[in-house]
Structure 1
Amino acid sequence: MKLTRHNGRVGKNGAYNPKHNDRSFNINNSEHINEERAKENIYWDCFNGYRTFYDKEKECELANTFEEVEELYYSIHYKDFIEGQNERNVKNRHPERNRTTSDILKHKKTCPEETIYQIGTLDNHISPDILLQIVTDFMIEITERFGTHVHILDWALHLDESTPHIHERHVFDCENQYGELFPQQEKALEKLGFDLPNPGKPSGRNNNRKMVFDSACRALLFDIAKSYGLHLEEEPEYGGRKYLEKQDYILTKQKEQLALQEEKLEELTMKIEDVEALIEEFADITYDKAVEVVTDAVKKETHLEDIRLVEESKNWVLSPERKASKKEREYAAKRLDGVIAKIKSAMQSAVQKIQNKLMQPEVKRAGTEQIKAKARTSVLSKLAKAKITADQKNMERISQTNTHSFRDNSL
């Protein structure tokens, strides 16, 4: 028999909805579900514990459905992150980026991961009791080993479809740089000590800690199943490329490359958002520093020029060539010294007025927008050049792939 452990988060309609798992919908409209056998299903969640079909009829104090359970869990555990991030968004003048815990519950990167467990097929499978014992032992072991960063939210044993199987949903999380708990898979697995399959290469779709984690889970699940006396096929269903025809393999490889490019594009988008936030955060600092430099320069240059002119007048008055008496000349020089003092005082007042003017909200806003525009233009220019280079490389890669494909077909 084959043991199947399949993971997923999103489908064509977005993040997976747990309504299917706890049957919180009208099953009369689903031909593949046996309504009578549905009463034998078993459910568990992190707030209510074990429940059956008949327990579901009772009103729960915290949450009735898996959907409500997950909403409540995210609200309790990730509220601090959402509030902190929203405050940072407002501070950086991007309130449109604000989210709720419901938003991250439904986002493809932060929603729970769903795993399906099944041993056997329609015609040959183990009993539901043994399946439940094996998967329960496995979940207990996972919680004991990795429960600090991997949290099982809910699961359901389905006996109302063709083959007994279990749907289980969990979330990976760890603290971010601000000490706020947040769903982030790779960081959580890094905290748990999982390395990249190829540590010397950058992290990506084909080189991430989740691959190592899944491999460890698969090995653990097989060990537990063997302890129940089961003899299972250990060749995974996925990745068996020896069963694919040559062209199927080529297409699969091309799809993997496209998926990798999509992931890189998403990472680039995140980096652009980071740059945008950085521009926002430091625009005020840049403007304030510019005001300080400009006013210092104005003060220095104007101050020195005015005093130089007065000093020249003073030297002219005191020169022996003047016909006025020494007393008159000394009096005039003293008066000029007074002028210099007044210039210094007036200049200080003028500098303060300039600073106050430049720091007025409307003036500062216009100035910071100019700074951001210049910085943004520079960043976008570099990204455009990088995109042209990437497009050229992609065209060369596609051309080479098509050439190799033609040669393979001609053999």
Structure 2
Amino acid sequence: MRRFFFLQNSPVDCFAKPKELTELETGRSQFVRAGVQRVQPFVHGYRECNTPVQVKGGSLAQLSGVSPLSTGYYLTQKAARNQLRCPSPLSGKSKRKGGTHVKLTRHNGRAGKNGVYNPKHNDRSFDIANSEHIDEERAKQNLYWDCYNGFCNFKNPDKENELSATFEDVEQLFYRQRYRDFVTGQNERNVKNRHPERNKETGDLLKSKKTCPEETVYQIGTLDNHVPPELLIEIVTEFMEIVNERFGSHVHILNWALHLDESTPHIHERHVFDCENQYGEIAPQQEKALEALGFELPEPEKPVGRKNNRKMTFDSACRVLLFDVAKKHGLQLEEEPEYGGRAYLEKQDYILFKQKEQLAAQEQKLEELTMKIEDVEALVDEVADIAYDKAVEVVADTVKLETHKEDIKLVEQSKAWVLSPERKASKKEVEYAVKRLDGVIARITNAMKSTIQKIQTTLMKPEVKKAGTEQIKKKAKSSIIEQLSRKKKEMAEREVSRTIPAKSKKQDMEL
């Protein structure tokens, strides 16, 4: 186990017991190259002596004046190969023209189902023996950097050359130093407004989704098709320097870790956005910080929201910068954006993200279907109204026809009886009876006209019509639902009979 050191003006005891992290031993959360001309970032190797060295053009050169926060490995090439030995399918061909295209991903997140992300996962400050997805032996090759201590190697509690402080300690100290005034001022305002129960400590900022550090995971390639870890480090750290140079006034990189002990080499990096608030205090606030940096909303005419915020613009800009750096190193990349959410911390979150994508498509489909259903319902309302009117006419006509026929039939029978030869009445009496029966038929006809009018008037009353229409709509909708259910079932059965179960894909990034 060797401690990774950064260049310093004075010799360093490589195996001296690290001091406890205190507020007197703080640095700046910036990447600085003071006193030397910028060189290829993160040249790889390590040193085992008190003389700082740099690999440049294959030879060793002594350097001095580099800040402890310099983002470079000034180490020997032979040791670099040992330290970062991780076979890559793309070794030797990733820079060749016409070579394999690889996927470059940059995923952001702050919290999962168990709350805000814990930096202990990144610096391995937990018992990795209980983690099946972590290779204990390869974990010794992991590299760590934080804004106070610079570079360190694998934390081993049994060795004296362990990390000076965990990432968790570093973040707590950074927040305590940088946001103490903000927390104190806010607590005073809470008391003044008679809400002391709202008072917080700086540590509480690390537990809130809105103010905790954001975590980003960088990966180039997949389990079976990835770049060598040294190339990953070169690209990502060069990108970090660009981010720091351009946005470092409001975006502070706190720590990062290169993981070689999982399936695919990747880097976890944590940073915080902040800017001055209306009271002149520096506070962690992402949207205001990005606004101060000049980032616009994707849709300036619309209000800030989950789908319209400056972080989206910032991430797009970072993606362009990162791809430019990777291309400068000769990589051929898959240009389509890849959004994997938080697969690097919680597999379940990755699954949920994919489900959200499917849900979004389903919601769009649902919206279209809802509009169609609304159209159908409007049609049912209209049809029910018309159907009721027609039903009233049909009912009235039917009542008229059937009742008229029955009554006329009775009168005609009486008329036939009067006119039958068996009757002994005089001709005058018969004619009188027939005339009277014809009058009855006429009165029946007139009475039916009046009755039909009364029936129609009653059935067309608003309260009667409404009840009748609802009955018609209920029947119509039931019929439509039955038809849809039957069609849906038929389609599902057809799809099942046609579908071949797809072979499940193995996750590229294990935890």
TM-score range, shorter chain: 0.5 to 0.7
CA 1:78–1:54 in structure 2 vs 1: closer, same or farther (change >3 Å)?
closer
What is residue 360 of structure 2 aligned with on the other side?
Answer: 252
- Within-5 A mapping of 1:70-219: 70-219=171-320
Off by >6 Å, runs of 4+ in structure 1: 247-250, 404-407
* Count of matched residue positions in the alignment of Structure 1 and Structure 2: 263
Q: CA deviation at 1:55?
A: 8.3
Q: What is residue 351 of structure 2 aligned with on the other side?
A: none
Q: 3-state SS of the aligned residue for 2:269?
A: strand
Distance 1:34 1:13, change over 3 A: same
Looking at structure 1, the residues matched to 125 and 373 of structure 2 have their Cα atoms a distance apart, in angstroms, of 49
Give the superposition deviation at 1:253: 5.0
For the structure 1 residues 227 and 402, does the alpha-carbon distance in structure 2 shift closer, same or farther, using more than 3 Å as the test? farther
Cα distance in structure 2, aligned partners of 1:21 and 1:101? 22
Is the 8 Å Cα contact of residues 218 and 266 (structure 2) preserved in structure 1?
A: yes
The residue identity in structure 1 corresponding to 2:121 is H
88, 100, 104: which one aligns with 1:3: 104
- State the TM-score, normalized to the length of structure 2: 0.48
Q: Distance in 1 between matches of 2:332 and 2:221?
A: 11
Q: How far is 1:214 from its partner?
A: 0.3
User: What's the RMSD between the two structures over aligned residues?
Assistant: 2.9
1:251 offset after TM fit, Å? 2.3
**Equivalent residue for 1:50?**
151
Q: How far does residue 252 in structure 1 lie from its aligned partner after superposition?
A: 1.4
Q: Please identify which structure carries the higher helix content.
A: 1
Please say if residues 124 and 155 of structure 2, whose CA atoms lie closer than 8 Å, have aligned partners that are also in contact.
Answer: no
Query: Distance between the aligned counterparts of 1:105 and 1:66, measured in 2?
Result: 12
The answer for the alignment partner of 1:35 in structure 2 is: 136
Decide whether aligned partners of structure 1 residues 230 and 48 sit closer, same or farther in structure 2, where only a CA change above 3 A counts.
Answer: same
Instruction: Report the TM-score when normalising by structure 1.
Output: 0.60
Task: Rate the CA distance shift 1:82–1:200 in 2: closer, same or farther, 3 A.
Answer: same
Secondary structure of 2:226's aligned partner: coil
Partner Cα separation in structure 1 for residue 127 and residue 373 of structure 2: 49
Conserved? CA contact 2:156–2:162, under 8 Å: no
Residue equivalent to 1:64:
165
Match of 2:243, SS state, is helix
CA distance in 2, matches of 1:12, 1:31: 21
Q: Hey, what's the Cα distance between the residues in 1 that align with 2:130 and 2:312?
A: 37
Quick one: structure 1 residues 398 and 69, their matched pair in 2 at CA, closer, same or farther if it must change by over 3 Å? Answer: farther
> How far apart are the structure 1 equivalents of 2:176 and 2:298?
34
Shift of 1:53: 1.6
Where in structure 1 are there 5+ consecutive unaligned residues?
240-246, 257-395
Task: Give the fraction of aligned pairs with identical amino acids, expressed as a percent.
Answer: 68
Whichever residue aligns with residue 9 of structure 1, its letter is: R
Judged with a 3 Å threshold, the aligned counterparts in structure 2 of structure 1 residues 248 and 14 are, in CA distance, closer, same or farther, namely closer
| Equivalent residue number for residue 16 of structure 1 | 117
Per the alignment, do residues 397 and 112 of structure 1 end up closer, same or farther by CA in structure 2, a change over 3 Å counting? farther
